[in-house]
Structure 1
Amino acid sequence: MAIKPPRWYFSLRSPYSWLAFRDLTERYPDVADAIEWRPYWEPDEVSNRMLAEEGVQLPYVPMSKEKHFYILQDVKRLSTERGLTVAWPIDKDPNWAVSHLGYLVAQDEGRGRDYIGAVSKARWEHGHDIADRKVIAGVAEELGLDPDRVANAVDDEKLRARGLDILREMERDGVFGVPFFIHRRDKFWGIDRLPAFVETVRAARAVGATTSTTRTEGTES
């Protein structure tokens, strides 16, 4: 069985993913380039029904009022530490597939990481509703992408099928929250676990580089 590459699951709706994205790309760019990026979102009614028919149940639990209040405090604290100001958006029955399937279009065009940064900024720094197709179209236009295709990705059957594959893989990986980092058998949940994940990825890469060098020297001799 092939070993899965190190990877992280992010969500455009999560303030912790927003902060982890910034930490990963700004503090650990070598690791950001060496791992797989996978979106995580709560499926809409259509995808949820299709998954249920397959017996796939995602481990999503609605947030309590107490946890919500804690997150407000915690994210403000973490944002301040990073010199950021968070603008809390107001979500009214959001469809998270709109922004996350739009990511797949941006990814195909080689702009996936730029899309994450732009959508996260729109949501967490400007308080925009990223389930609004007009907002996503604006982000796409800013990035030089086809705004109609990105904003309406949720209506594309092929993209929805790819999204379902990602959600199935997420369930198999045992992902229950974000940011979620996986390296071989090790799993790391939460932004405070990012440094530990980085260490394991870097250590494995160092061992791999040493092994490769040793094999090359042995061949030359």
Structure 2
Amino acid sequence: MSKVIDYYMTLISPWTYLGSQRLAEIAARHGAEIRVTPVNFGEVFPRTGGLPLAKRAPERQAYRMMELKRWRKHLGIPIKLEPKSFPTNDRLASCMVLAAGETGGRPLELAQAFGKAVWEQERDIADENVCKTVAEETGHDGGALLAKAKEEATQQRYDRQTEDAIARGVFGAPTYVYKDEIFWGQDRLDFLDRALSEG
């Protein structure tokens, strides 16, 4: 495929989850490949001027909640606004997504399933058993992906992708990069769609 979208994301971002299906549909319509690239935004934020949610001003936190309500209604995606399992450590699940991509699996589908687990089902994807089960629910070999996710090479790749994301100018999730043009946020998907239409 000549059209490639680098998809920088974290599984524990509601915005990543809200945009994931539309991204898949846009890519399919344009015959574009999606390179699913989970990164550690706990490293990205402090180096790019961002703050984790808990450290943001109350006004910003309140507006985020308002926007989540708007987008939930607009898209018809029944996310929980404050899921029991948020925040949580998504490193293991992210590495399982990488492992799926390296072993002929379906990384985008797995990433979407992890997002649904957090934002609709209130499951804790820091838990190994949950990760294994979610992978199996998508038709993957959960045990094999879990084992590969724990390998040093996979862990190092996750860290390397985080550094690469920062070097490319990524500062928030989700970020879509097409032809070195950055589109930050699921509310920029229309612009990504137009860019793909232009070639």
| Shorter-chain TM band | 0.7 to 0.9
Aligned-partner Cα distance in 1 for 2:173–2:41: 12
Give the structure 1 partner of residue 123 of structure 2: 128
Q: Does 1:101 align with 2:95?
A: yes
Maintained 8 Å contact 1:76/1:85: no
Q: How far off its partner does 1:126 sit?
A: 1.0
Maintained 8 Å contact 2:95/2:149: yes
Maintained 8 Å contact 1:97/1:154: no
Give the secondary structure class of the aligned counterpart of 2:51.
coil
Q: Structure 1: which 5+ runs fail to align?
A: 52-56, 205-221
Q: How far off its partner does 1:71 sit?
A: 1.9
- Pick from 51, 64, 83 the counterpart of residue 61 of structure 1: 51
Structure index of larger Rg = 1
Give the structure 2 partner of residue 33 of structure 1: 32
Maintained 8 Å contact 1:25/1:32: no
Give the secondary structure class of the aligned counterpart of 1:38.
strand
Give the structure 2 partner of residue 70 of structure 1: 63
Q: Does 1:83 align with 2:62?
A: no
The one-letter amino acid of 2:111's match is I
CA RMSD in angstroms comes to 2.6
Q: How far off its partner does 1:5 sit?
A: 4.5
Give the structure 2 partner of residue 23 of structure 1: 22
Q: How far off its partner does 1:78 sit?
A: 0.5
Aligned-partner Cα distance in 2 for 1:93–1:25: 25
- Matched residue count: 190
Give the structure 2 partner of residue 112 of structure 1: 107
Q: Structure 2: which 5+ runs fail to align?
A: none
The one-letter amino acid of 1:150's match is L
Give the structure 1 partner of residue 7 of structure 2: 8
Q: How far off its partner does 1:191 sit?
A: 1.6
CA deviation string 1:53-104 (max 9, x = no partner): xxxx743522214333322221121011112211232347732211111111
State TM-score, norm by structure 1: 0.75
Give the structure 2 partner of residue 217 of structure 1: none
* Bigger RCO (CA 8 Å, 6+ sep): 2
Q: How far off its partner does 1:36 sit?
A: 2.6
Q: How far off its partner does 1:113 sit?
A: 1.6
User: Cα distance 1:31–1:70, how it changes in 2: closer, same or farther (>3 A)?
Assistant: farther
The one-letter amino acid of 2:79's match is V
Q: Does 1:192 align with 2:191?
A: no
Give the secondary structure class of the aligned counterpart of 2:66.
helix
The one-letter amino acid of 1:113's match is L
Aligned-partner Cα distance in 2 for 1:34–1:188: 16
Q: How far off its partner does 1:155 sit?
A: 2.8
Moved more, 83-92 or 73-82: 83-92
Q: How far off its partner does 1:153 sit?
A: 4.8
Maintained 8 Å contact 1:10/1:40: yes
* Sequence identity percentage: 27
Give the secondary structure class of the aligned counterpart of 2:198.
helix
